[in-house]
Amino acid sequence: MTLRFPFSICSPLPPNLASSLRRRFSASTPPAATALSFSQPPSSPTAEHLNPLFLRPLSFTASRSDLLDFRRWAESLALAAAPRLSSDGGPGEDLLRRELAWMLEDAAADPGVGAVRLRVELEELYRLWRERIEERRPLQYIVGCEHWRDLVLAVQDGVLIPRPETEMVVDLVAEVEGFEHGLWADLGTGSGAISVGIGRMLREGGRVFATDLSPIALGIARLNVERYGLKDKIELRQGSWFEPLRDVEGKLTGLVSNPPYIPSGNIPGLQAEVCQHEPELALDGGADGTDHLLHLCQGSASALRSGGFFAFETNGDEQTKLIADLMTTRWAKLFHSVKIVPDFAGIERFVTGFRR
């Protein structure tokens, strides 16, 4: 099996590099939808606590020279650590400088004269940057968000940071005839990224059931669903894979999943930001990484209606071929038009097809 680690769980780009490209890209796109959605007041005290840094109130101040001192200190800490971090696929000097700039962008507002206003105390910025460099805590967890498609999604420790290649799942759904009015399932929704992406395209009658075993993931998914005003389109359900979907068995227009697919033995060798901070529940796919994928393939036969569509993300290449082979041989009576779809990097990433 070809392994793409330790850079990311599923991308040849390190997650931090991928997000750096994304953030730059997103910054240049009109922020209308995201800014509008995120400007809504939080619906509960819990939601307030989970809010990304850039949404918190500007409750603190610091002098310009104190902030400059912080910046100098943070840069020197990053420069000294860069060779160590990049040795396992982590960020190098340039990316760390950009991450620092983004953190400050999210944390501070400069009125031009007088003191700088901050969303956290200056001491907290020191603590957060130490966590980034010394503990390798991903920047996305520190600032509490990730840019994905044209969305800005809340994330927190305990929830997988959505990856750029997964964006394509939403495009695969959009190609299905009549998808807008269908019943969809996003199994293992994590931050709710795929569900929000699909939910925004749905019309009359269209609905997504977003499931996850993790209550932490569902809490964040709920926040993202609410922020984007999709409560009437996306229903969150807790449980293992198909268990929470018994009432819609055989009725689904389509189902999608980016399940845990990393072979267990490869997890300790992943980039520290991934293996030390992202949830094992979101990564570990069993001995060869296919435990959950195989379960999902088999369960799809009962969950989908006749003609229903499925799309699964995999670890790529050989894992993709294995799943596609099974669906066209052992389960050929259940599925048709099974296809392997490459991601933007040309890696055979997705298996798609239809229920007979």
Ligand X SMILES: C[S@@+](CC[C@H](N)C(=O)[O-])C[C@H]1O[C@@H](n2cnc3c(N)ncnc32)[C@H](O)[C@@H]1O
Nearer to ligand X, 119 or 207 (CB): 207
Tell me: does residue 252 bind ligand X (CB under 6 A).
Answer: no
The residue from 50, 62, 152, 194 that contacts ligand X (CB under 6 A) is 194
Stretch that binds ligand X, among 19-27, 34-42, 88-96, 160-168 (CB under 6 A): 160-168
Name which of residues 277 to 296 contact ligand X (CB under 6 A): 281-282
Stretch that binds ligand X, among 56-64, 129-137, 199-207, 210-218 (CB under 6 A): 210-218
Nearer to ligand X, 132 or 149 (CB): 149
Listing DSSP states for 93-157 in one string gives HHHHHHHHHHHHHHHEE--SSSSEEESS-HHHHHHHHHHHHHS---HHHHHTEEEETTEEEE--T
The residue from 16, 20, 258, 266 that contacts ligand X (CB under 6 A) is 258
Tell me: does residue 162 bind ligand X (CB under 6 A).
Answer: yes
Tell me: does residue 212 bind ligand X (CB under 6 A).
Answer: yes
CB 224 within 8 Å of CB 191? yes
The residue from 160, 176, 225, 326 that contacts ligand X (CB under 6 A) is 160
Q: Least distance to ligand X from the beta carbon of 25, Å? A: 18
Tell me: does residue 224 bind ligand X (CB under 6 A).
Answer: no
Please report the sign of the dihedral spanned by the C-alpha atoms of residue 295, residue 270, residue 159, residue 147: negative
Integer Cα distance of 119 and 156 in angstroms: 17
Tell me: does residue 188 bind ligand X (CB under 6 A).
Answer: yes
Tell me: does residue 14 bind ligand X (CB under 6 A).
Answer: no
CA distances from 233 to 37, 200, 224, 253 (A): 15, 8, 13, 15
The residue from 89, 144, 182, 190 that contacts ligand X (CB under 6 A) is 190
Question: Tell me, what DSSP letter sits at residue 120?
Answer: S
Nearer to ligand X, 212 or 348 (CB): 212
Integer Cα distance of 299 and 245 in angstroms: 11
Comparing CA positions, the residue from 119, 143, 122 lying closest to residue 16 is 143
Tell me: does residue 352 bind ligand X (CB under 6 A).
Answer: no
CB 173 within 8 Å of CB 243? no
Integer Cα distance of 255 and 179 in angstroms: 11
Tell me: does residue 319 bind ligand X (CB under 6 A).
Answer: no
Between helix 122-134 and helix 93-107 the angle, nearest 10°, is 150
Residues that bind ligand X (CB under 6 A): 160, 162, 166, 188-191, 193-194, 211-214, 217, 240-241, 258-260, 281-282
